[in-house]
Structure 1
Amino acid sequence: MKNLIYLFLISILSSCNDNNDTNNNTPAPINASVNGTWKLIKVSGMLSGIEHNFAPGIITWTFDESSQKVTVVNTNANSNLDDVLESGIYSYETTSNPAQELLCVESVKINSENYGCVSFENNQLRIDESYLDGATLDFIK
């Protein structure tokens, strides 16, 4: 019975896709696209179902591929909004997930903590840990 439940869950997860594009496009590797400055515009998800929006430029994350550092400049003054990281310099690394392509192809760790799957669409970056009831972070260039 337990195997049947696992099979059912896997079939549901593998069939869920809101991508209507019929082309089989492979997501861009994170190191090819994450480098540079990104503006955090939305933090959403988690168990509480939050959705906190930020004006572009209030919070910036600058990824430097050569040093494997991300510099966060956080000028958000509203302590009621979850803005993820305080201003500072953090180490980051990317991890390829070939065995977990159902969830994501690539993920990012900041200070050794997994922040989730990375995807790019229309010059936007999404770091998504919603599959573990974590946050989804949306950025623009």
Structure 2
Amino acid sequence: MKNIKILSLFALLILLGCNGDDDNRNDITLSGEWKLIEVNGTIAGIRHLFVPGIIKWNFNTSNHTFTVVNNNTDETKQDVLESGTYTYSIEGNDATPELCNQTLVLDGTNYGCYSITTTTLQINQGEADGIIIKLIR
């Protein structure tokens, strides 16, 4: 009987210690390194794929800058930005709030809605015949 009480208490402690929220929101941040893997869109319907790591974006959320290291040598591919350090901001979306609440402004240009998970970042300027940018961690 004593063993059953101890096992029951142990099982209860394990269950209470588990966190049911597997999607930890603290891990979702723009900060850090992202690898550009795809640029698609425009009225011409382009789709350019990149090997992860050829083009890296590193966001610094403390000073709202990001650094691009662009090693793409294929001039026919739209790779968005050249190597350098740029500013970014997140702004409220007053124009099309039904699509998203906030937009991402990169180096003074509004690139539209963005969505972020722990492993992916997608920036969507597609509503204005712009581009859709896909990056991974």
- Shorter-chain TM band: 0.7 to 0.9
Partner of 1:33: 29
Partner of 1:49: 45
Equivalent of 1:90, from 80, 86, 106? 86
Gaps of 5+ in 1: 1-27
* Paired residues for 1:3-14 under 5 Å: none
Cα distance in 2, alignment partners of residues 116 and 58 from structure 1: 24
Equivalent of 1:80, from 76, 99, 109? 76
2:125 maps to 1:132: no
What is the number of residues matched between the two proteins? 111
2:63 maps to 1:67: yes
Structure 1 runs of 4+ with >4 Å offset: none
| TM-score (normalised: structure 1) | 0.73
**SS in structure 1 at match of 2:127:** helix
* Identical-residue share of aligned pairs (%): 41
Cα distance in 2, alignment partners of residues 124 and 60 from structure 1: 13
1:111 Cα deviation from its structure 2 partner: 1.6
Please identify the structure whose Cα radius of gyration is greater.
Answer: 2
Partner of 2:5: none
Cα distance in 2, alignment partners of residues 81 and 99 from structure 1: 30
2:102 maps to 1:106: yes
| TM-score (normalised: structure 2) | 0.75
**SS in structure 1 at match of 2:89:** strand
1:115 Cα deviation from its structure 2 partner: 1.1
1:49 Cα deviation from its structure 2 partner: 0.3
Cα distance in 2, alignment partners of residues 134 and 86 from structure 1: 18
- Output the aligned Cα RMSD: 1.7
